[in-house]
Structure 1
Amino acid sequence: MRHFGLPKKTGVCVATLLLAAFTVQFAPTAARAADPVQILPADPLPAFTQTKGSPAPQTQIVPVTGSSDFSRALQITTTAAPTSAGLDGEYEYALGAGTVASVKTDDAAVMTFWARSVTPAAGQDAGYATAVFERDGGSFKKSATAPLRFTSTWTKFSYPFRIAEDYAPGEAHFQFWLGYGAQTFQIAGVSVTDWGQGTPAGYPTISYAGRDADASWRAAADARIDQYRKGGLTVKVVDAAGHPVPGATVKADMQDHAFGFGTAVDAATMMANTADGQKYRQAVTNGDFNRVTFGNNLKWNHWENTTERATVTLPALKWVREQGLDFRGHNLIWPSWGNMPADVQGLAGDRTALRSRIDTHITDEASALTGQVDTWDVVNEPYSEHNVQDIMGPDEINRWYNLARQADPKAKLVLNDYDLLEDNGWDKRHQDYITGLVTRIKNGGYPLQGLGLESHFTGLQPTPPQDVYDLLNRYAALGLPLEATEFDIPTTDQQLQADYTRDFMTILFSQPDVTAISTFGIWEKNIWNPLAALYNADWSLKPNGQVWHDLVTRQWWTNASGTTDSAGAYTTRGFLGDYVVTVTANGATEKVHVDLATNAGRTVTVVADGTPSDDTELLGNADAEKGSVGWYGFSPSTVKPDTTTFHAGQVAVRSTGRTAEWQGPAQGVQVANGQRYTSDAWVRLAGGGVSSTTAQIKIKLSYTDGTSESVPLASGTVTTGGWTHLASAGAVPLSFGKTLDHAEWWVSTAAGTNDLLIDDASLKNGA
């Protein structure tokens, strides 16, 4: 996506661009101030004389019988395929007609035509083209762009849209892009009419197939959601002797989704010390989102702005991680000259230098953020952005995935592109390109791990939900997880926007290979197109924002309760995600964390021994803000507060005087046999020894017979260069057959005796 910029091919497709064929609706008849004005010549067919490409498209006017709407058609023949496999191939061949009337910015307009295929391109099942209304020359600023698919049957296409800028007579044209291979098709009944400013009476509105409340796709989608996005949760309650406890009260309260619901943000605006900055942060952390993307801040140009990186990007990323949100890195390379630093284009004549410059960047950024980025858009929009591949060859993309994997062994590596679901599902050339590219990368054994589907719907052609589902199945056959990475539908028709948001989210949530849906911004005052926002300028929620909120936090959310049966078991079915299970029995309450990760379900056992426990922090002074209170070191090491190097707040705990790797900061903790625990901490090496090593969080269990054992909870690579977040992958069980004397939580290293810094640690009951 273009730095919170405009989707490819749409130019400034103002969001009142609405759907086309078969679903245009007209308001009840009412008087208009004036009839719509034709802005093409009175007889448009002979006016299609503007040609592009060699050999040029061939045209002839032919008679048509059997239609009451027209008696002749313009037959268009192309005799060659485009030389480029990318977007520029689509408009390598074109045919257009100039306008003869002036129009004004934001005028309501409608372009209408009929089309049918005579001879499709070889190997195609239909005719393909793209209809465009744009400035004729210069910026080619677009008011409307609509990919087309037409069969041998005459089909009417009608597209209401808004004029993007003032055009004097002859300054704009209505054009067909024809770079889809050798084919012949016919158009008839062509008109582009100007209805004037505002929304005149009778001006057509839009809908899409499957919008009705009783549409047939809905029941099937709901059934798939129940099948794939839910799982059974059985809670068995036993007493201290292991006997079932019937009649215990059980509550299962969802805390977070396993599925990803995300948004892109502008880091500076979100972190601003202003009322709007506070509102922005609240919107990101109110439960609607569990993942975040920076719209611009990690793009190459921004990354090499070291001031922005140090003062905006890295502090904002630190804040995101502290909120427990997943983070998507967008992006490592967007391979066209305009999307890379200015000096890169100067290396076009030196393949070795160009490769070195790109390789160094990918390695630098990915390695610097290792452990902080969960998913990387390694390559962004290769269909339209391919200057580098044109020089280095199409397989250069493969190397970028290897480089990213070497630099960051943990992050999920994704390819991100647009128009794979959009445009009524008719951008087949783009779809074919991406499926071919993904197949080549995967078959070559390169570490591509996901496909990002941008999902910017212009409002001109909202793809019907069933067609979206069919496309998802096509991409799923590639064997990769799928994500909608930049979803929005800018339009002034807020009901259409809300309905499509509901239906798009529903159909994607129902497809088992889809792992996440993210919107590309939320706030009207800081987003690529204000009409795409979920929140108005005053932070009031728009209808589409309300739909998002209701689905994520209400309709697809589980809070269940009941009592255990005679066997001490309670079973419910809930949406996949993290839960807190609360059991009340024997006069006490037990709380445990449960990860319901798959639709295979989960059974957990809770020991109701009459001793209360809850999901509060089991470590004292876990954030170190009271200095070293509650902390100690295994002798001869000691601990002390550190107010100069800390992760969050104002203080960290420093373990010093370490003479062996096992020595580190520790706390005494209360643990129970049969209980599971989750733990995490931010850890960092001080200088003066090894620069990198493995650190482990452990529980040391010391028994009354004088023996002891250690149970690892989490591990990871720690360095002197920054903080590392160590976190348990799930709830770790403690099981011991001896009498426990005491237990200790502590951090050790695999090598080195550097001072060890700990901050923002946690130990909680899990299940």
Structure 2
Amino acid sequence: MATLALTAFFLLFIWNMAATSDGAYDYDTSSYTQCEIYPAAPLYNGGILINPSFEDGTHGWTELIGNSKLHIETQNNGNKYIVASNRQMTYHSPSQKLQNLSQDAKYTLSAWVQIRGAVNSALVKASVSMDGKTYISAGNIMAKNGCWSFLKGGFVPDWSPTHSKLYFESSNKHVDILVDSVSLQPFTDEQWRLQQEERIRTKRMGIVIVHVTDVHGNTLEKANVAVKQKSRRFPLGSAIAQTILGNEPYQRWFKKRFNTAVFENELKWYFTEPQQGNLDYKFADKMLAWCNANGINVRGHNIFWEDPKYIPSWVTKLNNEELQKAVNYRIKSVVGRYAGKFINWDVSNEMLHFSFYEDRLGPNASYTFYLAAQRLDPRTPMFMNDYNIIETSQDPNSTVDEYIEMLRKIKHSGRVMEGIGLESHFSKPNLPYMRAVLDKLGTLGLPIWLTEVDVNSNFDHQTQATYLEEILREGFAHPAVEGIVMWTALHPYGCYRMCLTDYNMRNLPAGETVDRLLFQDWMTSVRGETDKNGSINFQGFFGDYDLSVSLNGKTATQAMSVYQGDGIQHLYIQI
């Protein structure tokens, strides 16, 4: 037993050393969601920036353009920070020239920011100018008056500029911008990929030692061991539509790959009740039955959609009293019918961008939807779901801070098990920004799902596949992400924006990418021989496996699982 304990300790030591022995793994996951009295120290000691904590006055920092004033102030604990006052333009702020930006690097950015003025808060953006003609949005923060908020973001230059500048801006020209503990840290593409692989290895895989003995308990050396994964624990899937019903080629293709689904439209209010009182759940029922029969979990999407374009026309014509009765009936109807049958619910879709129900029923209308749905389905998490949270920092309606604030309001409305749904409708992905936002949301300790992943159809199929792989790898590698669903329901005309196959179930480039990830990169298959101690060890993705052991004409088989937990799993099998 001492030998086994020593072997296990050695394996864990080697595994952890592999994850930390290279400087490429020094990505700092730190993030903060509370407004603080004092800022923390700059990440990476400021990285490539000069004077990131303003201990040397304004050295390295200048006013971007114009007549605003820069000066240094000191807090009562001795902390120094820079202030841009007398701002006349949105971009009047502290700025610093950046040297040797490279299109072959990924840049992570962070800063502590606050505002001073007649308002309680204002949106402040971090931007980068390149060669005076391109301006990159690298992150944003809803900065508060009187305390420090943490901005975390990043960017990837489209080319290597001759000259560039980092600066901050706010559309509210009447506030002073205060900045401290600024950091800009580059990583090569190789370092970024190594970080992803290390996270996947430590967060999505476990170490297993298989011990082989005879019936008398004697260890057996040189026994042939084969381990083959047959299912995965991590929820990964796609949207489906009614087109999958009765379509056996589509069904075979889907269930071979995915363990999770979501109905594209068949559960939405305009689909299930196109005329008031005319309920129609037949397609949703049939699709759920097919998923259940094939071991596929389903997300409940959605109970309400705030966008008036997707609200039944008859609903928009109701007076307020009638509308309240209609929404109450909708919750009872759909949640009551499917309580306990979905793994999570999108309760009120796209609340950051639209506010139909709040405009009609009061500012807390959607929060009451969450509470009512939770009461009918108390064991199922209730998700917010919105777009442009991780896709871009240029949508002022969907900053990560606004998302967090709305989550807090839902929580304060009552006992609700919350979840974070990030639609993930990407154009060209900004991976440093995506990771930074996931870091920040991850501090909340709530389940995070990428719920509608796709890539803009403006790109050709191969480019879509390239960007899709970047998004899936980044999402799968982040420890806070608990599920990924692509928005790729198949129709005769194609898909919403991106298809994995054509209608004859032949893979398109995006489908080839998904297959390579699922069946090669994120699937475990091991063959080998036991050592002199009768053991063989391997790292495997969490999931279910078939184990086969043979020696001298004898064979034993056994089902096994690799599950998430501390330490090393030990499995014993006799021949």
Which interval holds the TM-score relative to the shorter structure?
0.5 to 0.7
State the match for 2:452 in structure 1.
486
Cα 1:532/1:247, change in 2 over 3 Å: same
Q: Distance in 2 between matches of 1:345 and 1:524?
A: 29
Question: Secondary structure, in 3 states, of the residue corresponding to 1:286?
Answer: helix
State the match for 2:316 in structure 1.
345
* 1:332 matched to 2:299: no
Q: Distance in 1 between matches of 2:333 and 2:351?
A: 21
Cα 1:224/1:386, change in 2 over 3 Å: same
How far the C-alpha of 1:591 sits from its partner, in A, is 2.8
Cα 1:295/1:407, change in 2 over 3 Å: same
State the match for 1:182 in structure 2.
172
Contact 1:415-1:451 at 8 Å conserved across structures: yes
Match of 1:279, as an amino acid? P
Cα 1:262/1:418, change in 2 over 3 Å: same
Q: Distance in 2 between matches of 1:591 and 1:308?
A: 50
For structure 1, the residue ranges without an aligned partner over 5 or more in a row are 1-61, 65-74, 79-118, 128-148, 160-179, 186-209, 611-767
Match of 1:341, as an amino acid? P
How far the C-alpha of 1:565 sits from its partner, in A, is 3.3
The one of 385, 394, 399 equivalent to 1:426 is 394
How far the C-alpha of 1:510 sits from its partner, in A, is 1.2
State the match for 1:265 in structure 2.
240
The one of 420, 435, 440 equivalent to 1:474 is 440
Relative contact order (C-alpha < 8 Å, sep 6+): which is higher? 2
Contact 2:368-2:413 at 8 Å conserved across structures: no
Counting only pairs closer than 5 Å after superposition, residues 276-675 of structure 1 correspond to structure 2 as: 277-287=247-257, 289-304=258-273, 309=280, 311-350=282-321, 353-423=322-392, 425-431=393-399, 432-444=401-413, 446-457=415-426, 459=427, 462-490=428-456, 491-523=458-490, 525-529=492-496, 531-584=497-550, 587-598=553-564, 600=566, 603-608=569-574
Cα 1:469/1:321, change in 2 over 3 Å: same
State the match for 2:209 in structure 1.
234
Match of 2:244, as an amino acid? M
RMSD: 3.5
How far the C-alpha of 1:384 sits from its partner, in A, is 2.1
Q: Distance in 1 between matches of 2:568 and 2:340?
A: 29
Contact 1:482-1:514 at 8 Å conserved across structures: yes
Question: Secondary structure, in 3 states, of the residue corresponding to 1:332?
Answer: strand
Q: Distance in 1 between matches of 2:216 and 2:378?
A: 45
| CA deviation profile, 1:309-340 (whole Å, cap 9, x unmatched) | 45422122111111111111111111344433
Match of 2:208, as an amino acid? L
Q: Distance in 1 between matches of 2:319 and 2:268?
A: 20
State the match for 2:194 in structure 1.
219
Match of 2:476, as an amino acid? F
| CA deviation profile, 1:489-538 (whole Å, cap 9, x unmatched) | 12333332222111111111111010122111154735553x51122344
Counting only pairs closer than 5 Å after superposition, residues 12-161 of structure 1 correspond to structure 2 as: 126=124, 150=127, 155-157=132-134
How far the C-alpha of 1:388 sits from its partner, in A, is 1.0
* 1:255 matched to 2:222: no
Question: Secondary structure, in 3 states, of the residue corresponding to 2:507?
Answer: coil
Q: Distance in 2 between matches of 1:331 and 1:543?
A: 30
Q: Distance in 1 between matches of 2:569 and 2:542?
A: 14
Cα 1:355/1:222, change in 2 over 3 Å: same
Contact 1:230-1:599 at 8 Å conserved across structures: no
Contact 2:272-2:281 at 8 Å conserved across structures: no
Cα 1:258/1:401, change in 2 over 3 Å: same
Match of 1:426, as an amino acid? Q
| CA deviation profile, 1:737-765 (whole Å, cap 9, x unmatched) | xxxxxxxxxxxxxxxxxxxxxxxxxxxxx
Cα 1:481/1:77, change in 2 over 3 Å: closer
Q: Distance in 2 between matches of 1:158 and 1:150?
A: 7
Contact 2:269-2:311 at 8 Å conserved across structures: yes
TM-score normalised by structure 2 residue count: 0.65
Cα 1:387/1:601, change in 2 over 3 Å: same
Contact 2:129-2:135 at 8 Å conserved across structures: no
Q: Distance in 2 between matches of 1:299 and 1:237?
A: 53
Q: Distance in 2 between matches of 1:526 and 1:417?
A: 26
How far the C-alpha of 1:152 sits from its partner, in A, is 8.3
Match of 1:416, as an amino acid? N
Q: Distance in 1 between matches of 2:340 and 2:371?
A: 17
Contact 1:557-1:575 at 8 Å conserved across structures: yes
Q: Distance in 1 between matches of 2:222 and 2:437?
A: 49
| CA deviation profile, 1:119-159 (whole Å, cap 9, x unmatched) | 999755745xxxxxxxxxxxxxxxxxxxxx64688852499
Question: Secondary structure, in 3 states, of the residue corresponding to 1:441?
Answer: helix
Question: Secondary structure, in 3 states, of the residue corresponding to 2:210?
Answer: strand
Contact 1:376-1:413 at 8 Å conserved across structures: yes
| CA deviation profile, 1:72-114 (whole Å, cap 9, x unmatched) | xxx9779xxxxxxxxxxxxxxxxxxxxxxxxxxxxxxxxxxxx
How far the C-alpha of 1:598 sits from its partner, in A, is 1.1
| CA deviation profile, 1:559-592 (whole Å, cap 9, x unmatched) | 0122333443321111122212223357543333
Cα 1:294/1:540, change in 2 over 3 Å: same
Q: Distance in 2 between matches of 1:494 and 1:343?
A: 39
TM-score normalised by structure 1 residue count: 0.50
Q: Distance in 2 between matches of 1:255 and 1:158?
A: 48
Contact 2:128-2:135 at 8 Å conserved across structures: no
Q: Distance in 2 between matches of 1:415 and 1:562?
A: 46
Query: Once the two structures are aligned, what percentage of the paired residues are identical?
Result: 26
Question: Secondary structure, in 3 states, of the residue corresponding to 2:299?
Answer: strand
Cα 1:594/1:419, change in 2 over 3 Å: same
Q: Distance in 1 between matches of 2:129 and 2:122?
A: 13
Q: Which has the higher helix share?
A: 2
Cα 1:525/1:557, change in 2 over 3 Å: same
State the match for 1:41 in structure 2.
none
Task: Report which of the two structures shows the higher radius of gyration computed on alpha carbons.
Answer: 1
| CA deviation profile, 1:659-715 (whole Å, cap 9, x unmatched) | xxxxxxxxxxxxxxxxxxxxxxxxxxxxxxxxxxxxxxxxxxxxxxxxxxxxxxxxx
Q: Distance in 2 between matches of 1:566 and 1:435?
A: 55
| CA deviation profile, 1:346-375 (whole Å, cap 9, x unmatched) | 44432xx43332223222212212342122
Q: Distance in 2 between matches of 1:501 and 1:316?
A: 26
Cα 1:363/1:238, change in 2 over 3 Å: farther
